[in-house]
Structure 1
Amino acid sequence: MPKGNLYDFMHKRKGVFKLQSLLRAAIDVSMGMEYLHQNNIVHRDLKTANLLMGEDGVVKIADFGVAKVQTQSGVMTAETGTYRWMAPEVIGHKPYDHKADVFSFGIVIWELLTGELPYSSLTPLQAAIGVVQKGLRPAIPKHVHSNLADLLERCWHLDPTLRPNFSEVSGVLQQIAKEVVEVDSCQN
């Protein structure tokens, strides 16, 4: 993809996302993840380095090296992924399912909002321990749209059954995008 991955775009080239571009990217990812989950595929390493941006701004999910087809039982326990984006149940070697990807997605959105590396003041292992033992989550900036802040908190819920699925995530993001466009058009 001509524009590379989102991690390099933000952290190496110091790119930033305006809210509408961020929402468009988030919708692309959530719809892609919805498709994967409908086909029983759990990505297990969703992070900005695995999201590629095309010339037209379309974002695609990449690196399926640790993706897994979810079996009928749906139980996985292997610690797989990258600590800064990993769900607490994965870090803790507890049974997990597709909702682990939803947690990682929340961290990705936070990263796109702030342009910062998640838990940047901590080593990856310290971040992992903080997420599991202390319920550590990144601070949501005050300026964030209230529905987007609420969505992040729901994606990060400790109880995976209380996290939204990607169909719901896409719907919320599309509604926020619609509101943002309406506000922008009223201000012009």
Structure 2
Amino acid sequence: MPYADLSFAEVSSAVVHQNLRPNIPKCCPSSFENILKKCWDAKPDKRPEMEEVVKLLEAIDTSKGGGMVPEDEATGCFCICRRRRGP
């Protein structure tokens, strides 16, 4: 979880006043990265409507596989969603 060490108020303030955004993993396809950045625009009126986001996501070519698998892992879950289990 990004910013687990910050309170909701601290994250909210940093997003608004310091343009805080999560780091995008290197394994993230550029097409998905572009959608994220559009959705994170500091100016709300420049962010896409959900209908457009859905169209952009549906337009991503997944025919060649890939996705967000880290290059150093032969198999594994999506790097942006990876969770550690146990202590």
Aligned position for 1:67: none
Q: Hey, which bits of structure 1, 4+ residues long, moved more than 6 A?
A: none
Output the CA distance in 2 between the equivalents of 1:148 and 1:121: 26
Determine helix, strand or coil for the equivalent of 2:59.
helix
Shift of residue 120 of structure 1?
1.6
Instruction: Kindly indicate which of the two structures has a greater share of residues assigned to strand.
Output: 1
Letter of the 2:13 partner, please give it: I
Letter of the 1:159 partner, please give it: K
Decide which of 131, 134, 144 is 2:15's aligned counterpart: 131
Point out where structure 2 has 5 or more consecutive residues left out of the alignment.
66-87
Shift of residue 118 of structure 1?
3.2
Letter of the 2:64 partner, please give it: V
Letter of the 2:39 partner, please give it: C
Q: In the TM superposition, what are the counterparts of 1:36-185 in structure 2 within 5 Å?
A: 117-176=1-60, 179-180=61-62, 182-184=63-65
Instruction: Kindly indicate which of the two structures has a greater share of residues assigned to helix.
Output: 1
Determine helix, strand or coil for the equivalent of 1:149.
helix
Number of positions where the alignment pairs a residue of Structure 1 with one of Structure 2: 65
- 1:55-78 deviation digits (Å, cap 9, x = unpaired): xxxxxxxxxxxxxxxxxxxxxxxx
Point out where structure 1 has 5 or more consecutive residues left out of the alignment.
1-116
CA RMSD of aligned residues (A): 1.2
Shift of residue 172 of structure 1?
0.9
Aligned position for 2:80: none
Shift of residue 128 of structure 1?
1.3
Output the CA distance in 1 between the equivalents of 2:58 and 2:50: 12
TM-score by length of 2: 0.68
% of aligned pairs identical? Answer: 34
Shift of residue 150 of structure 1?
0.7
